[in-house]
Structure 1
Amino acid sequence: FLLDDEYQWKGPFYFIQGADPQFGLMKAWAVGDIKNGDDEWGEEIKLAEQAVQAINKLNPKPKFFVLCGDLIHGMPGTQWRNDQEQDLKNVLKNTDQDIPLVFVSGNHDIGNTPTRETIDDYCKNWGDDYFSFWVGGVFFLVLNSQLYFDSSKCPELKQAQDVWLNEQLALADKQKCKHIIVFQHIPLFLRKPDEDHDYFNLEKSVRQEIMEKFQKAGIFSNF
C-alpha cells in the first residue's frame, strides 16, 4: 500500500477475509489422526484455487485479501509442513497482483505454545506476526493471538507485542483515527464476553484486559 494515499477516507471499500485454509486437515479428520494424518491435501488445494479464482473476478476489486491463520495443518516440526506451505504459496501467487495479501498467524502456524524459533520461522515464510497498516482511511492491526493464549516459552515476545500495541493505539488516538479494525486468529470470545475459557477463545482475564483496551481506543470490529 502507498501510505500517503491510504491515510485519508475516500469512500466505502471492502476487503476479503478468509481463515484456516489448513492444507492437510481434511485427510487428518477423515482418518481420525489429527497429528499425523495430514499427508494429503488435494481437496484443500482445489478449494483454495476456487477461492482465488472467485476473488480475482470481483469488480470492483477488494482492497486486500486477509487470511486469519492456520494457513496449513502441519504443526511446527511435523513431516508435511514445508510441502503444505509451498503448495499454499503456489496457489496464492495466482491472486491478482492488484489485491495485496495479508497473513495472520494461527496455532498451526506457530504452535499452541509458540517459541521464538517457531515465530521466527513463520516470519521468514509469511511476514511479521504482528503489524499495522492503513487502507482507505482505516487503521488495521494484525495481532499474534497465540501470545495471548500461551506465551510461557517466549514471555518477552508477548511483552514486546503489548508495548507495540499500546504505541499503535496511542498513535491512532493522536491522529484522531475514526475506524480501527483488528485481525487475529483466536477470537476473544465465541458468543458472550463473559463465557468460560476453552480451546477456542482467550482466557477470561486476558480477554477482559484486551477488551477494555479496545473499547477505550474505540475498536468495535475484531475479525
Structure 2
Amino acid sequence: MAEGQDVFARARGRTVRGFRQDEEYQWKAPFYFIQGADPQFGLMKAWAIGDCGSGGDEWEEEIKLTEQAVQAINKLNPKPKFFVLCGDLIHGMPGTQWRKDQERDLKNILKKVDQDIPLVFVSGNHDIGNAPTPETIDDYCKHWGDDYFSFWIGGVFFLVLNTQLYFNSSKCPELKQAQDEWLDGQLAIAEKQKCKHVIVFQHIPLFVKDPDEDHDYFNLEKSVRHKIMEKFQKAGIKAVFSGHCHKNAGGFYKGLEMVVSSAIGCQLGEDTHGLRVVIVTEEDIVHRYYSLNELSNQGIGKDLLDLLVKQN
C-alpha cells in the first residue's frame, strides 16, 4: 500500500481499521464526531457559470474552505473520535478531465487532519456516478476505501451506505443485491446487540423535509425510501446523517431523525460553509451545524461540551 494511502482507505473488509467490535462494543462515555459533506472541488465555478455538467476547471475557493475546515477540526479540544465526509468529495464525475487533479488536491489537504482523528468517507454520486458501474465503484474503493461498511465506537454501531445503489443501480444490480443482503445482516446484529445507539451515514438523504415528499434528484424514490425507513425504525436506528443537498434540512419518521447537512463547498441555500458537531451521550444524539468561521473562532459551544462530561 502506498505511503499515506491507508489514511484514506481505512475502510476495508466492510469495517474500519482501528475500530474493532471486540474492543468498542461496550458503552464507555459520551463522545463526539464531526460530520462534513460535499467539499466537491470544482462545483463553485461550474455553478457560477451555469454548467454543472462540467467537471469544473477551478477549485481554489474549495481548497481554501476545506483547509479552513481542517484547521478548525485540528484546534478542537477534546479531539473528535472521527471526521466523516458524507460524499461528493470532488465534482468531476468518473472519467472526466479534472477528476484526478481534484482528488490529488483534496487528499493533500486531508492529509493535514490530526493523525489522531480518523477519516471516514461516504461515497456520493459525483464520486461513483449517478448510475454507478462495477468499475466506478471499484475505482472509488481503491482511492477512498469500501463504499459501504460498519464500525463500532464506545458501544455505538455505525453504518455507512452507498445510496447510489438505491438511486440507480441499473448498471450494477448485483452490487445493490450484495449491499441489501449485507445491510439486512447488519440490522440483525443491531437488533441483537445491546448497543446504545445505531447511526447511519449516507450521501443522498432518505427525504429532505417530509417522509412523504415527492421524489426528485435530492432524495430517494418513495417506495425505496419507505422500505428503508421501516427497516431502520424496526432496528432501532436513531439518526441518519447525509449531505447532497448543499443546505441544511431534515425531519423525522417515527423515532428516526433524518439530518441533512450543508456543504463545506458550494451552497445552494441560505446556509454558510460549515461542519456539524455531533455529541453522543448515553441517552441522546445531539447535533449542531457550525459555520466554518464560528468553529474556527469560537470552537464548540459550552452547552455541548458539558454533555461530554462523563456520566456516572
Contact (CA 8 Å) 2:55, 2:92: kept in 1 or not? no
Which residue number corresponds to residue 34 of structure 1?
A: 52
1:163 aligns with 2:181: yes
Matched, 1:220 2:213: no
Aligned partner of 2:39 in structure 1 is 21
SS at match of 2:199: strand
- State the secondary structure of the residue aligned to 1:189: coil
Say which of 102, 113, 122 aligns to 1:104.
Answer: 122
TM-score by length of 2: 0.70
Distance in 1 between residues matched to 2:100 and 2:129, nearest whole Å: 15
Contact 2:88 2:126 in 1 (8 A): yes
Q: CA deviation at 1:37?
A: 5.6
CA distance in 2, matches of 1:198, 1:92: 32
Tell whether 2:92 aligns with 1:74. yes
Measured against aligned partners, the alpha-carbon deviations of 1:150-179 in whole angstroms (never above 9, x if no partner) come to 001100000000000011111122222231
CA distance 1:150–1:2, shift in 2 (3 Å): closer
Question: Residues 177-213 of structure 1: CA distance to partner in whole angstroms, max 9, x if unpaired?
Answer: 2310000000000111111101000000000100000
Q: Distance in 1 between matches of 2:219 and 2:65?
A: 26
Q: Which residue is 1:172 aligned to?
A: 190
- Cα separation, 2, equivalents of 1:137 and 1:100: 18
Alignment of structure 1 residues 59-70 onto 2, 5 Å = 59-70=77-88
Paired with 1:142 and 1:2, the residues of 2 have a C-alpha distance of 14
Contact 2:19 2:152 in 1 (8 A): no
Query: How do 1:130-145 residues align onto structure 2 when only pairs under 5 Å count?
Result: 130-145=148-163
Please tell me whether residue 118 in structure 1 is matched to residue 133 in structure 2: no
Retained in 1: the 8 A contact 2:26–2:195? Answer: no
Q: Does 1:93 align with 2:96?
A: no
Aligned length: 223
- Rounded Cα–Cα distance in structure 2 between residues aligned with 1:2 and 1:22: 27
In structure 2, the CA distance between the partners of 1:188 and 1:2, relative to structure 1 (3 Å rule), is closer
Quote the offset at 1:11 in angstroms.
1.2
* 1:123-169 Cα shifts (integer Å, max 9, x gaps): 00100000000011100000000000000110000000000001111
Contact 1:28/1:37 (8 A) holds in 2: yes
Q: In the alignment, what sits opposite 2:251? A: none
2:191–2:236: 8 Å Cα contact kept in structure 1? Answer: no
2:212 to 194, 198, 212: 194
Q: Relative contact order, CA 8 A, sep 6+: which one is greater?
A: 2
* Between structures 1 and 2, the one with greater helix share: 1
Q: Percent identity?
A: 83
Aligned to 1:185: 203
SS in 2 for 1:134: strand
TM-score normalised to the size of structure 1? 0.98
The answer on whether the counterparts of 1:22 and 1:72 sit within 8 Å (CA) in structure 2 is: yes
Q: Which runs of 5+ in 2 are unaligned?
A: 1-17, 242-312
Secondary structure of the 1:140 match is strand
